[in-house]
Chain A
Amino acid sequence: GAVVSQHPSWVICKSGTSVKIECRSLDFQATTMFWYRQFPKQSLMLMATSNEGSKATYEQGVEKDKFLINHASLTLSTLTVTSAHPEDSSFYICSARIPGGGNQPQHFGDGTRLSIL
């Protein structure tokens, strides 16, 4: 149980392109999902918390107009990197917390490796 699917796994595209990443909870409903970014050999950095039916909460320093988050249903959250540039190249990972309270573990998708040329 508690499977989170993330798609696509790899994206390589030209500078200026917008890229959409999907995160789905396959066997549970997730009112809260999280988006992280991880640079090589560094720890996870929380970008934003995605709440179903409301606006995402962004961490300090994360541009909300650059990283658009939509959580339109209880099983799907999307992250769109708009007008991506080489410095946006990173490993993006989503997670979802299973229902039952804030102390439930987050379960992660497999991540999306984004490379901007």
Chain B
Amino acid sequence: GQNIDQPTEMTATEGAIVQINCTYQTSGFNGLFWYQQHAGEAPTFLSYNVLDGLEEKGRFSSFLSRSKGYSYLLLKELQMKDSASYLCAALDSNYQLIWGAGTKLIIKP
């Protein structure tokens, strides 16, 4: 079956760095997305990786290893507004998005 695993909850300190991991098992693979979702709001697109390596976008970076079925989202210089759920989603061979359950990130002062 198809499956996405990511931690349920993580806690980090304002100003620090946090890495949110995601492992996936899909029927074929056409890329991996990361979305941010604040409580009570809809998800917003953060990043898309289809090739191995690190993609940097400001304070946020996303990494992919296709051979390991693994990705991570790296958040630097954490701010209180980064408190949110982070959703990992993999695109299978039919271009269907398989969603993870999300990682709730709590930022403490």
Contact = CB atoms under 8 A, between A and B. Distances in A.
A105 B87 CA distance: 13
Interface string A77-111: 00000000000000101000000011101111111
A42 B101 contact: yes
B33 to A, nearest CB: 6
A43 B3 CA distance: 13
Contacts of B101: 42-43
Given A103-B48, A103-B95, A43 B100 contact: yes
B94 to A, nearest CB: 8
Interface residues of A, number: 18
B54 interface: no
A44 interface: yes
Interface in B92-109: 95, 97, 99-102
> Chain B: interface residue count, which band?
10 to 19
A43 B31 CA distance: 20
Contact of A43 (B41, B42, B50, B87): B87
Contacts of A42: 101
Interface string B68-101: 0000000000000000000100010001010111
Contact of A111 (B30, B41, B45): B41
Contacts of A113: 40
Contacts of A111: 41-42
Contacts of A6: 42
Interface of B: 30-31, 33, 40-45, 48, 50, 87, 91, 95, 97, 99-102
Interface of A: 6, 42-44, 46, 91, 93, 101-103, 105-111, 113
> Which 7 pairs from chain A and chain B are nearest by CB?
A102-B95, A108-B42, A43-B101, A105-B45, A111-B42, A93-B42, A103-B31
